[in-house]
Amino acid sequence: MGLGRSRLALAFIALFLVAWLSIGNTQATNDLAALSRQVNRLYGQGKYAEAIPIAERYVALVRGKYGENHLEYATAILWLALVKEEQDRYAEAEPLYNRSLAIREKALGPEHPDVVHLPMARPHYRCRLLSFPGQSHRRP
Number of domains in the chain: 1
Quote the mean pLDDT of the chain: 75
pLDDT at 59: 95
Distance CA 35, CA 48 (A): 14
Residue 127 inside a domain? The answer is yes
Neighbours of 118 (CB within 10 A): 17
Residue 61 inside a domain? The answer is yes
Residue 107 inside a domain? The answer is yes
pLDDT at 47: 95
What percent of the chain shows pLDDT beyond 70? 64
Comparing 14-18, 57-61, 116-120, the range with the smallest average pLDDT is: 14-18
Question: For residue 135, what is the DSSP state?
Answer: S
4: exposed, middle or buried (Cβ count in 10 Å: 0-12, 13-18, 19+)? exposed
pTM of the model: 0.67
Distance CA 68, CA 90 (A): 21
Residue 15 inside a domain? The answer is yes
Residue 138 inside a domain? The answer is no
Residue 137 inside a domain? The answer is no
pLDDT at 138: 45
Residue 60 inside a domain? The answer is yes
Neighbours of 43 (CB within 10 A): 18
pLDDT mean over 91-105: 89
Distance CA 140, CA 133 (A): 18
12: exposed, middle or buried (Cβ count in 10 Å: 0-12, 13-18, 19+)? exposed
Q: Give the pLDDT confidence of 4-44 residue by residue, as tens digits.
A: 554 554 444 544 444 444 444 555 567 888 998 999 899 89
Which residues span the domain enclosing 114?
2-131
* CATH label of the domain that carries residue 7: 1.25.40.10
pLDDT at 119: 62
- Measured CA to CA in angstroms, residue 105 lies from 86, 92, 121 at distances of 24, 21, 10
pLDDT at 62: 94
Residue 38 inside a domain? The answer is yes
Query: Which residue would you say has higher pLDDT here, 135 or 51?
Result: 51
The amino acid occupying position 2 is G
